Amino acid sequence: MSQLVSAASVLSAGLAVGIGAVGSGVGQGNAASRAVEGIARQPEAEGKIRGTLILSFAFMESLTIYGLVVALALLFANPFVS
């Protein structure tokens, strides 16, 4: 039984990061493309745009990191494996 649980944990740890990365990847791509557009229109606002972009990247990336935390909990601190 515990082997089944281990196998399912490893599989779902992979899925948690993999599927979680899709959404934030799309979001970061969107944000970056808009930021490039903004810089092309107003090159003098580059510093401000870059700051905001990096800050919002951190937020988007943290969504994937939540998946990573779940994956790490499954791998190293699994509550279902005694």
Interaction site with another protein (CB under 8 A)? 6, 54-55, 58-59, 61-62, 65-66, 68-69, 72, 75-78, 81
Q: Are 14 and 53 in contact (CB under 8 A)?
A: no
CB closer to another protein out of 38 and 61: 61
Burial class (CB in 10 A: 0-12, 13-18, 19+), 64: buried
Q: Are 10 and 71 in contact (CB under 8 A)?
A: no
CB closer to another protein out of 6 and 28: 6
CB closer to another protein out of 41 and 76: 76
